[in-house]
Structure 1
Amino acid sequence: MLSAASGLALGLSLIVAIGAQNAFVLRQGLRGEHVAAVVAVCAVSDAVLIAAGVAGTGALLERLPWFVPVVRWGGGAFLLGYALLAARRALRPSGALRVEGASARQGLRAVLATCLALTWLNPHVYLDTVVLLGSVAGGHEERRWWFGAGAVLGSVVWFTALGAGARLLRPLFARPRAWQVLDGGIAVVMVLIAVSLVRHA
C-alpha cells in the first residue's frame, strides 16, 4: 500500500500542473460536451502510458534519441494550431459562446480526435509518465505494479474531478467575457508549451 500511495502522490504531482490536456478537459466540462468520453480517453491513455513506463519502456525510449525530438516538433506544431483556434474564439466569441445550441456543439469524433492528439502528441507525456514515473517505479522492485496502480488511480481521480467539477464554474461562464478570458488563457498556455517543446527539440 505504501508503494501505491507513492504512485498516487507522484502521479497527481505530474498531472495536476496546467497543460494542454487539462485545459481541454476543463473546457469540455464547462461546455458539458462529451465529458465522460473525454475523461475516459485521458484516464485510459494515462493508464497505458503508466503501464508502459512500469514495464520498462522508458529505458527503451532513452535508447532512441531521435524519437523525442520528432514528437517535440510534431507536438509543438499541433499546439500552435490549437492556440490559434483558441485565440480566434477569444477574439470572435459570438459563435463560440452559443454552447446551448446544436450548431455550437462539436461531434464526438472531433472531440475525441483532439483529446487523443493533445494526449499522445505531447512529449511531456512520454518524458514524465513513461520515463520519469517508470524509473521511479523501478525503484519499488517487486512492488512496482502497486506503484503504477496508485499512479493510475491518481489520473482517474484527477480527470474525473476536473471534468465533473467544471460544472460548478458554469454560473461564472454564463458571461461571454469569462469565455473570452478562458480561451485567451488557453491560447497563451498552448503557445508557451509549444515554444518550450520546440526550443528543447
Structure 2
Amino acid sequence: MNSGILPAAVAGFSTGLSLIVAIGAQNAFVLRQGARRHAVLAVVGICAASDAVLIALGVAGLGAVVTAWPAALTVVGLAGGAFLTCYGVLAARRALRPAAAAGLTTQGTSAGSVRTAVLTCLALTWLNPHVYLDTVLLLGSVAADRGSLRWAFGLGAMLASLTWFTGLGYGARLLGGVLARPAAWRVLDSLVAATMLAMGIMLLARTF
C-alpha cells in the first residue's frame, strides 16, 4: 500500500471538515431537525451523500465546468437566495410565536412532513452556489495537487462530511432537556432565521 495514502486521506478529512463546520443554512437545518428528532437519518444521509457526489465531481476535475458557466451559478444564486429568505422568514415567524414552538417536540412524523424535510434539505444543499465553488472547485483544486493520491484525499473529505453531519444531526438530541422549554426553541429558531436571512439576502445582493 502506498505510504502516502493515509496522509492524503487525513489531509482531505481536515480540509473537508474546515469547509463545512462553519454555521450555515445547511448546518442550521440539520441542527434543528436533530433537535426535533425528525427525519434525522434522511437529512443526514442527503447531506453526506450530496457532499460525496460534489467532492467526487471536484476530484474528477469538473471544477472547470463550474467556472465556465457563470450564468448557471447566477440562476442557482437567485433560486437559492429566494428560498433561504423565505425559509428565514418562516423561522422568524416561529421564533415570534412561542405557542407554535412549544408543539415542536410532539410534532408528528407523517409521510408528508418527512417529504417536506427531505425536499427542504435538497434545496438547501443544491441551491447554494457556495457548494459548487467550495466543494467542487476549491476542494477539487486542492485534491488535484495530490496527483495520484487525489482520490484518497477525496475519500478523506467525504468521511469528514459523513462524520460532521452524523454528529450534528444525532448529537443535537443531547439538547433535548434544554429544548423542552419553549424559550429555547425561540432562541434556536432565531439563530436559524438570522442564518437563513443573512445568507439569502447576501446571495440575492451578489446576484444583482
TM range, smaller chain: over 0.9
- Is 1:55 the counterpart of 2:71? The answer is no
Tell me the TM-score normalised to structure 1 length. 0.96
Aligned equivalent of 1:69: 74
Whether the 8 Å CA contact 2:105–2:180 is kept in 1: the answer is: no
Alpha-carbon spacing, 1:123–1:150, altered in 2? closer, same or farther (3 Å): same
> Match for 1:188 among 171, 174, 194?
194
**Where do 4+ consecutive residues of structure 1 move more than 4 Å?**
102-106
- Counterpart of 1:150? 156
Structure-1 residue corresponding to 2:176: 170
How many residues are matched?
Answer: 201
Are residues 1:8 and 2:18 paired?
no
Question: In the alignment, is the contact (CA less than 8 A) between 1:86 and 1:186 conserved in 2?
Answer: yes
For 1:103 and 1:173, how far apart are their aligned partners in 2?
17
User: Structure 2 vs 1, CA of residues 186 and 49 (structure 1 numbering), >3 Å: closer, same or farther?
Assistant: same
Give TM-score, length-normalised by structure 2. 0.93
Query: Which of 93, 118, 138 is 2:124 aligned to?
Result: 118
| In 1, Cα distance between equivalents of 2:67 and 2:201 | 23
Q: CA deviation digits over 1:31-83, x for unaligned, max 9?
A: 01111111111100000010011111111111112111111111100000100
1:18 corresponds in structure 2 to: 23
Cα distance in 1 for residues equivalent to 2:86 and 2:98: 18
Residue 185 of structure 2 aligns with which residue?
A: 179
Per-residue CA deviations over 1:125-162 (Å, capped at 9, x if unaligned) read: 11100110011111111111000000000000000000
**1:200 to partner: Cα distance:** 2.0
What do you get for the CA RMSD once the two structures are aligned?
Answer: 1.4
> Sequence identity, in percent?
56
Unaligned runs of 5+ in 2: 1-5
